[in-house]
Chains A and B, each alone.
Chain A
Amino acid sequence: MKSAIVVFPGTNRERDMAIALKRVTGKAPTMLWHRDTDLPDVDLVVLPGGFSYGDYLRCGAMAAHSPIMAAIRAFAQKGGHILGVCNGFQILTETGMLPGALLRNANLRFLSQDCHLRVERNDTPFTHKWAKDAVFRTPLAHGDGNYTADSQTLEKLEGEGLVAFRYANAKGDVQADDAETNPNGSINSIAGILSENTRICGMMPHPEDLVDPLMGGEDGLPLFEGLVEAFVR
């Protein structure tokens, strides 16, 4: 699998993401600068976490207008695969490449803790290494992860099975009104979603920070292993 990571001013989890990708591919991903206008020949583009433009105005709002986003849009139109994590997810919603928006966490505080995610479907390149309804642990770290969408959008997401991950407890029970298991207050406990063609995935938590037993586990690894298997080259 050939992959690239986009760096915006203020991005800060590009190194974490590079470590995770290197771990499964054996080679370092290409780093792209937000002012680049062309993408190299890759299978996967990752928009990593961080505080692009300081999260000023709205998280991801300014990065969504970066020169590189035009190329990324074109890549998506050609059916390219894109993973947006945390700030990357926020950028994808700001560009409209994924529906909905991410509001301030319900408790109005930055949250940095482990959470559990339930895998809602396992027939996508992002999720196929897990069983359906599998539960895995992953860190999250954000101030604005409270997913919201209007009722029509939500109906479509749910109806077409475009929810990839939901916040859950360790047993996989989902309870949207419970701050323990749905820490940021996301609607329907949504933690990650897919585009209609399932080739774009945005999620708030950071599986890339749990790919090494030394750092506390490998629970996030299946995401990256799955991607590699999907693009054997």
Chain B
Amino acid sequence: MKKTVDLALAREFGLTSEEYDRVLKIMGRTPSLTELGVFSVMWSEHCSYKSSRKWLRTLPTTAPWVIHGPGENAGVVDIGEGYAAIFKMESHNHPSFIEPYQGAATGVGGILRDVFTMGARPVANLNALRFGSPDTPRTRQIIDGVVRGIGGYGNCVGVPTVGGEINFHPAYDGNPLVNAMTVGIARKDRIFLSAAAGVGNPVVYVGSRTGRDGIHGATMSSAEFDENALAKRPTVQVGDPFIEKLLIEACLELMATDAIVAIQDMGAAGLTSSSVEMAGKGGVGIELDLDAVPQREPGMTAYEMMLSESQERMLIVLRPDRTEIARKIFEKWELDFAVIGHLTDTGHIVVKHKGQVEADIPLDPLAEEAPIYDRPAATPQAPAPLEAVHAPLSLDAMLLKLVGSPDLASRAWVWNQYDSTVGGQTVRRPGAADAAIVKIEDTTLGLALTTDCTPRYCQADPKSGGAQAVAEAWRNITATGARPLAVTDNLNFGNPEKPEIMGQFVAAIEGMGEACRALDFPVVSGNVSLYNETRQPDGSTMAILPTPAIGALGVFEDVSKAVGLGMASESALVLIGETKGELGQSIWLREILGREEGPPPQVDLVAEKRNGDFVRNEILNGTVTACHDIADGGILVAAAEMVMASGIGCELESPDSGIRPEAFWFGEDQARYLVCVKDADGFCQKAEKAGVPARLIGRSGGNELILPNGVTISAARLTVAHEAFFPALMAS
């Protein structure tokens, strides 16, 4: 590597010439290589949020139940009985393209650390995945590696993987998305933060040794991909879930004492970002002695150690009189433990190595003068209305095709590789309810967890798509009977330096914000992943679909009241919500007619809240015994999913709605649910009083789905069509 520090090197490190000027001004001299490395990672998009910060600030982040919103390692909400849920979602998109297994595995490891670093025992993992066209061999390789990686890590650490989502679209061919979410539980009064305090206090390094893994990972994830992406090999990080498991147990054991002043995982930009952020937040200085850092390889330089992204490491500020207690705990768990520095009153980060000062940077300007950009944003064009479309096939043929299509087919092949029961608290496993449900041990409390986003809606109309993603997450939680509490997000977009991409980003946040406010559903943590573009051989770039993935959490006071989506026996099937038959951007339009056109379904947040609040009440009072939200594929797909989940059939009635049958059955109008109740009349009257549209559309029984045209499809036949896709794809 070139060692002279100058503008050319700064640019190689991802800094612009204005940013480099700013560095020179702050330092008052030419920075050392290590110093330049620190600036470049701290000011990378990944660490500084320089393109997104202005817009993230517009999201609602507070509610009476929010204990810590964005800004900490993860969001914290009060779930009652003295407990807090701590959760966050994070992307590992670029690493997962380069090395799918390790990329996905270390993604899971990273998000776990964000959660247990705050004092929580992780109780659930979810993952939101977007892959390219299923027809390409590379996509299958990526799926295989990503699924194995998520399982390989999550299964080993013993945290159940309980949910997630998967979409396919050619726009992800060169840039898959791997967004991992972890949820943990802590006592509300035992939450650990990262702000360092106490001049002289020891700074302790625990976990795995430092190697040359992933140097400049943070800058890499802030750049678009070119043909050489696969050659960027030195940056591949390998995860060690076994060490992570020990780290979880050791940290939780230490957290039960009063030894910790502050704690922070070493994530992107490793030792640099953890030490800078801890000291910066606490308003103190920090001095590190790199000779004391546990090292895996000989001859590492200060630059390499400061920028290494070796996994499974944490930085802790301890009370000085508790150092030995802490050391004993980490020795018991056979993990490296080293005092590598102390806090100072200088307001600087000083890094020493072999008797030399390798870096000496004032912390305030490093944080405060970090660039923030108000990038030009082009307002997205409204999609043209969808012209009249007609069904080319019979209802039953279309249904069978849809339930077996890539975006709707069963994900059992995937979740059967994830341990979803470890911990013994999984009330609803994947596929059993609209959100996964996990009990809180020793209480009656439960959590409902989901991830949602419909990228094709966001592509057509980013604002309404952003709102829809939040609304769907809220609806999925509501459909189990849980009370939606808060959101974490993972905003995956293309290159923000392009006004049209920035425009998507701004509009999606605007939509999300509106929905979060209307639904009282604050954003408490999140992650932004930009530059998700692939340079094509001809020099042009292809951006992913705008994908603001929403992870959400709801709570049950009494988790035994939760309902699943499997059709209940001998019940009336009632449709909640208004149906206009919106086919724009629907799965039906894409899979049956091969068109991606029109506006996405309208999002009416008032109706969403009213309908959802009604449904939740009726679940909790025992009237509703099964519930499924209506999303991709519309009413008919939702009904078929209910039949497949329980094996109990249903006879559907012919709608006298004045809407064409394909639009009625496959339209993706929002704010709707299918529910099973005993007394349809009484229930519909109650709904009417609450201003909630409700109508009887079928009766359960037998083991066949009977369509209004009289055609019957057995649950078994539906299931065969539903389950064929993944195994066939992955065997090819």
Q: Do chains A and B touch in the complex (CB under 8 A)?
A: yes
Chain A residues within 8 Å of B, Cβ to Cβ: 9-10, 12-13, 15-16, 19-20, 49-51, 53-56, 109-113, 139, 141, 143, 206, 208-209, 212, 214-216
Question: Does B420 make an interface contact (CB < 8 A)?
Answer: yes
Cα–Cα distance between A20 and B424 once the two chains are bound (Å): 9
Q: Which of B222-258 contact A (CB under 8 A)?
A: 240-243, 245-246
User: Which label, helix, strand, loop or mixed, suits the secondary structure of the A interface?
Assistant: mixed
A139 nearest in chain B by CB position: B421
Cα–Cα distance between A37 and B236 once the two chains are bound (Å): 41
Given the interface contacts A10-B156, A12-B157, A50-B158, does A214 sit within 8 Å of B560 by beta carbon? yes
Find out whether the CB atom of A54 lies under 8 angstroms from the CB atom of B156.
Answer: yes
Within the complex, what minimum Cβ distance (angstroms) separates A56 from chain B?
7
Find out whether the CB atom of B421 lies under 8 angstroms from the CB atom of A214.
Answer: no
Cα–Cα distance between A158 and B710 once the two chains are bound (Å): 54
Contact of A51 among B241, B424, B559, B560 (CB under 8 A): B241
Q: Which of B122-163 contact A (CB under 8 A)?
A: 148, 151-152, 155-158
Proximity string of chain B (428-455) to chain A, C-beta cutoff 8 Å, 1 when within and 0 when not: 0100000000010100000000000000
Within the complex, what minimum Cβ distance (angstroms) separates A23 from chain B?
10
* Total B residues in contact with A, Cβ cutoff 8 Å: 33
Q: Given A9-B333, A12-B422, A51-B242, output 9 extra A-B contacts at Cβ < 8 Å.
A: A13-B158, A15-B441, A16-B422, A55-B242, A110-B148, A110-B419, A209-B422, A209-B424, A215-B426
Find out whether the CB atom of A215 lies under 8 angstroms from the CB atom of B417.
Answer: no
Contact of B245 among A12, A15, A49, A139 (CB under 8 A): A12
Given the interface contacts A51-B156, A214-B439, does A9 sit within 8 Å of B424 by beta carbon? no
Find out whether the CB atom of B245 lies under 8 angstroms from the CB atom of A110.
Answer: no
B151 nearest in chain A by CB position: A110
Cα–Cα distance between A13 and B426 once the two chains are bound (Å): 13
Given the interface contacts A51-B156, A54-B156, A54-B242, does A111 sit within 8 Å of B427 by beta carbon? no
Contact of A55 among B156, B421, B560 (CB under 8 A): B156
**Which residues of the other chain, B, contact A214 by a CB distance below 8 angstroms?**
427, 439, 559-560
**Which residues of the other chain, B, contact A20 by a CB distance below 8 angstroms?**
424
Contact of B424 among A19, A110, A112 (CB under 8 A): A19
Find out whether the CB atom of A10 lies under 8 angstroms from the CB atom of B416.
Answer: no
**Which residues of the other chain, B, contact A10 by a CB distance below 8 angstroms?**
156, 242, 245-246
Interface centre among B334, B423, B560 (most CB of A within 10 A): B423
Given the interface contacts A16-B422, A51-B245, A139-B421, does A215 sit within 8 Å of B427 by beta carbon? yes
Find out whether the CB atom of A15 lies under 8 angstroms from the CB atom of B424.
Answer: yes
Find out whether the CB atom of B241 lies under 8 angstroms from the CB atom of A112.
Answer: no
27 A-B interface contacts by CB (under 8 A): A9-B334, A10-B156, A10-B246, A12-B156, A13-B422, A15-B423, A16-B421, A19-B441, A51-B155, A51-B158, A53-B242, A54-B156, A54-B240, A54-B243, A56-B242, A109-B148, A110-B152, A110-B419, A111-B417, A112-B415, A112-B416, A112-B420, A113-B416, A141-B419, A141-B422, A214-B559, A215-B426
A211 nearest in chain B by CB position: B424
B335 nearest in chain A by CB position: A9
**Which residues of the other chain, A, contact B156 by a CB distance below 8 angstroms?**
10, 12, 51, 54-55
Find out whether the CB atom of A16 lies under 8 angstroms from the CB atom of B423.
Answer: yes
**Which residues of the other chain, A, contact B429 by a CB distance below 8 angstroms?**
216
Contact of B421 among A50, A109, A111, A209 (CB under 8 A): A209
Interface centre among B240, B420, B424 (most CB of A within 10 A): B424
Question: Does B474 make an interface contact (CB < 8 A)?
Answer: no
Find out whether the CB atom of A111 lies under 8 angstroms from the CB atom of B416.
Answer: yes
Within the complex, what minimum Cβ distance (angstroms) separates B150 from chain A?
10
- Minimum-distance CB pairs A-B, first 8: A12-B158, A54-B242, A16-B424, A141-B419, A51-B156, A209-B421, A112-B419, A139-B421
Cα–Cα distance between A56 and B152 once the two chains are bound (Å): 12
Cα–Cα distance between A143 and B333 once the two chains are bound (Å): 25
Question: Does B425 make an interface contact (CB < 8 A)?
Answer: yes
Within the complex, what minimum Cβ distance (angstroms) separates B524 from chain A?
27
Question: Does B418 make an interface contact (CB < 8 A)?
Answer: yes
